[in-house]
Each structure stands twice: as C-alpha cells, then as structure tokens.
Structure 1
C-alpha cells in the first residue's frame, strides 16, 4: 500500500511540474520596448517525439517535414493572435508578416537546423525589426493541420496530446537583450489545433508582456 501511494505521489509531482508556468520579464521591459515599432515572430523550432510503433511507419525526412510544418503553424497562429488584438485596438506595436520574415530568413540562410548558430541580435538586425519572438516547442503529437494530416495518413488515428512544452523568448534587436521568457508545460488534452495552444499560452503571457493591453 505504501509503495502504491508513493508511486501515486511521484506521478502527481511529475504531472504538476510539467504543467507549471515560468515567466521572466526584464525589469525595464516597458522602458526598452516603448519605442518598438516592428516585431518579428520566428518559426518555432519544434521537436515531435512519437511512439516507437508509429516511428516504424515514418521516415526521418517525414518527421523533419512534420516538425517544420508545426513550427510554421505556431508562428502563424501567434501572428494571428496579435492581429486580433490590433483590430481591438489593444496592440502597442506592429508585427512583421510571417511571409516577409520567412523570406528574409531564407535569404540569410537561416533554417530550422542552423538557427542556433545565429544570435538573436544578428537575426533581428537582418530582419530590420526592433524585437523578435522566437522559441521551441516539444510535443508527442503535432497540432497543426498539415502535420496532423500527415501523421493520420501514415499511422492512422492518434490520441489526444498528453505532453507539450512551449518555450518563448522576446529579444531586443539593438543589443540582443533577453526581454522576456515564457515557459509553459501542458498535460492532457490541450485543444485540437495550434490556435488553441497559442490562445492558452498567450492568455497568460500577455498579461505581463507589454506589447498588448
């Protein structure tokens, strides 16, 4: 009985820690960003960890394409989230169109594989923006329409997501200073789309980040 209760306790602690939210904001965030006129959102570097039996039906190239699709979907969903705030009149800055961002990144030679070789300051200056939002996303089930469709065709029905961790950082272009970092782990079903994920994440993050009222 004691062993059983101990295992339940460990499981509870594990799930609780994964579901925790961590937010760092630079003490001078408002002061530094008050003159930000244009911010770019980069595709999120995504890692999808599938079940071993599902990986048997998928090549490494297919998984890579799925991860790229997921990262682009998060970028698009986050940009759409900010645009909705712009229509409501609660947005304090402008956000670069993802099509422009991605075209410039391609011209610079930045890919999902080598993005870690560039500093936030280098990327921001090339994109000609005042700040950038970038990050990582880890999950065991893709949420974007394209990636989910690919997975469904390859392995059939897939259950609800039971693990996802998103890590988002905001950097100042002038000096590459980290202005904010938001890390959120989610357990269980977190919605059916990337939009659901971003709505969940941004509802809490936006309360502290001054780009939106």
Structure 2
C-alpha cells in the first residue's frame, strides 16, 4: 500500500507555518537501488498576482517564470553537488541536461513528453522534476518598507513547492514531496532550495 506522510513544520520565514507531505511508492527502495545517474529538470514556475501590477506585463511575468525555473534547477543541483558524498547516485550536470533537451528540440516542450521519454533522451536512470507556484500579494518594495518602518515582516506572498522523482525506465512516480510556504523578499532560489532540502533531508530517497 502506498504511503503518505503528513508532517507539520515551521518555515524559515517570519512566524510562518507550512505543511509538508511526502509520498513513497511501495517499491521505492527496490527501484532506487538500480539508479546510478539522475537528471534534474527545470522546474515549472507559475507566478500570479493578487493585485494587478501595471508595471509588469504578461511577457515580463513569463520571462520571470522561465528565469526562476532554471534558477531553482541550478540551485538544487548545486546543493546536491555540495552534499554528493551523502548520496548513493550521481546527479547529471544541469547544463548538460538542458543542452541535450535543447538538441532534441524539447527544452520548452517537456510537458508534452512522458518522464521515461525524457530519461531516454538524457540517458539517465531517473528524473527529478518539480513545480513552484507563487502568489504575490504585494511588491518587494512594499514588503521591505513594511519590514523597516512598521515591523510587520517582509512577506510578499505565499506559494507551494512540489518535487517529484520518476523512474527512468517506466516513467512511474516513485516519490513526491510537497510543501506550502510563505515567501520572504530576502529569499533567493538558493535559500528556497536550501530550506526545502533541509526539511526533507531524512526522507530524500538517495540519502545513504
């Protein structure tokens, strides 16, 4: 029977709470024991605004999403590379991953492919992908002013972060991590990934 673990935790942002959920397939240990190389895909990013920002066009918002998608991918690879001695697999360089996907003409069409098709293109045993959805409630400038002058904190919005591991041979999802969070204007994508990985460190499939 598939397992779903739901845990409560505190995020690193100001007085914020979050919910963490971790899913593991029954055959997770058996599957990951065969893995040697894992690729990390650009994350899907969706940024919405509770109040219309007249200074931000739809194209600018789309570019911001694309930039953040690759920034999260790079930040995650950097984190895993730093901790590589703690894991049982190698993680493919994200530049190589993106070049191979671009050569295959699918870098911007990943949603049209199954995970086993992507794994075949990248010649890896498994795929890590993810989604970050962020709702902006106020601008960074407003958050900064409130933090400095009103003492109300620098929160600019809220979001959800999902990370998924798929078996390369079959495309089957064997592990999934989901976390809600409050967004602080001081946070970079490095901070975002660092916070997430600290919270799931004991549950990350490839930890020795």
Q: Which TM-score bucket, shorter chain as reference?
A: 0.7 to 0.9
Q: Kindly state the Cα deviation for residue 158 of structure 1 after the two structures are TM-superposed.
A: 4.9
How far apart, CA to CA, are the structure 2 residues paired with 1:203 and 1:156? 25
TM-score normalised by L of structure 2 = 0.79
Aligned residue number for residue 106 of structure 2 = 110
More strand per residue: 2
How far apart, CA to CA, are the structure 1 residues paired with 2:133 and 2:102? 23
Of the candidates 96, 103, 122, which is equivalent to residue 100 of structure 1?
96
How far apart, CA to CA, are the structure 2 residues paired with 1:62 and 1:96? 30
Distance 1:156 1:131, change over 3 A: closer
Distance 1:21 1:156, change over 3 A: closer
How far apart, CA to CA, are the structure 1 residues paired with 2:185 and 2:129? 21
How far apart, CA to CA, are the structure 2 residues paired with 1:72 and 1:184? 19
How far apart, CA to CA, are the structure 2 residues paired with 1:78 and 1:97? 11
How far apart, CA to CA, are the structure 2 residues paired with 1:65 and 1:167? 21
Question: In structure 2, the residue corresponding to 1:157 is in which secondary structure?
Answer: helix
Number of aligned residue pairs: 179
Residues 87-166 of structure 1: pairs in structure 2 closer than 5 A: 89-112=85-108, 114-141=109-136, 157-159=141-143, 160-166=155-161
Residues 1-213 of structure 1: pairs in structure 2 closer than 5 A: 19-54=18-53, 56-86=54-84, 89-112=85-108, 114-141=109-136, 157-159=141-143, 160-187=155-182, 189=184, 192-213=187-208
Distance 1:158 1:37, change over 3 A: farther
Question: In structure 1, the residue corresponding to 2:184 is in which secondary structure?
Answer: coil
Distance 1:68 1:95, change over 3 A: same
Aligned residue number for residue 13 of structure 1 = none
Question: In structure 1, the residue corresponding to 2:175 is in which secondary structure?
Answer: strand
TM-score normalised by L of structure 1 = 0.77
More helix per residue: 1
